[in-house]
């Protein structure tokens, strides 16, 4: 009986050592070969409503990197859920139910000129620190990094990125995914829980 157990143990041990259950997905890279608009079009699960708003607002040229005044931009990207939540909260059935100029003025509140990655922003908290920018919509955004701890080691955890609207005063948005880098700028995707129009 012991021989059977030993034999079965050896057989199962040999069968357990395969690499078929491991999928190497490679290293994560935020670099995208194409414009911000192309990136969003290739990821419709997160950005299709955003793309529709941008196109209806007449901002496609800006997000395609073809605006000579703003060749590089940083976009604080409200995702589909953010825009859909805004529309539901305001009784809007379709993007085209709102005038393009209204969408344009709202969307430009999420765009700053230049290319800024997470490490380009100063550290801060909800009250002080960070860097202040004027968005293309004319509003002021204070952006700050929060260095979190990991296993009681200060500043060893992930660096969070937050955007605070200095104009509305109350709205703070956390970035879910930072440093997505298409050819014409940077996209910092806002959390799904964020509602469009709050910055």
Q: Is residue 1 part of a domain?
A: no
Q: Distance (Å, rounded) from C-alpha 172 to C-alpha 197?
A: 12
Portion of the chain with pLDDT greater than 70, in percent: 89
Q: pLDDT digits over 4-30, tens only?
A: 777 767 766 666 655 555 555 555 678
Lowest mean pLDDT among 36-45, 53-62, 149-158: 149-158
From the DSSP assignment, how many helices (H) and strands (E) are in the chain? Answer: 6, 7
Q: Is residue 129 part of a domain?
A: yes
The tally of domains found in the chain comes to 1
pTM of the predicted protein model: 0.83
Tell me which residue range forms the domain holding 134. 31-190
Q: Is residue 68 part of a domain?
A: yes
What's the CATH number where 97 sits? 2.30.180.10
Q: pLDDT digits over 87-96, tens only?
A: 999 999 999 9
Q: Distance (Å, rounded) from C-alpha 65 to C-alpha 87?
A: 27
Per-residue pLDDT at 117 exceeds 60: yes
């Amino acid at each position: 009986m012991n021989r059977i157990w030993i034999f079965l143990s050896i057989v199962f041990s040999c069968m357990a050592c395969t690499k078929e259950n491991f999928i190497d997905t490679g290293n994560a890279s935020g670099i995208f070969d194409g414009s911000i608009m192309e990136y969003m079009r290739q990821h419709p699960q997160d950005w299709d409503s955003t793309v529709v708003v941008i196109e209806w607002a007449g901002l496609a040229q800006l997000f395609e990197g073809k605006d000579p005044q703003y060749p590089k931009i940083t976009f604080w990207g409200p995702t589909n859920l953010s825009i859909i939540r805004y529309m539901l909260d305001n009784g809007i059935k379709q993007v085209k139910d709102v005038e393009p100029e209204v969408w344009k003025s709202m969307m430009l509140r999420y765009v700053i000129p230049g290319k800024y990655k997470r490490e380009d922003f100063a550290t801060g908290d909800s009250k002080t620190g960070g860097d202040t920018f004027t968005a293309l919509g004319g509003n002021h955004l204070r952006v700050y990094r929060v260095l979190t701890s990991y296993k009681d080691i200060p500043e060893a955890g992930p660096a969070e990125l937050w955007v605070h609207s200095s104009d509305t005063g109350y709205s703070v948005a956390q970035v879910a995914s930072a440093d997505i880098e298409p050819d014409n700028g940077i996209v910092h995707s806002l959390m799904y829980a964020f509602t469009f129009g709050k910055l």
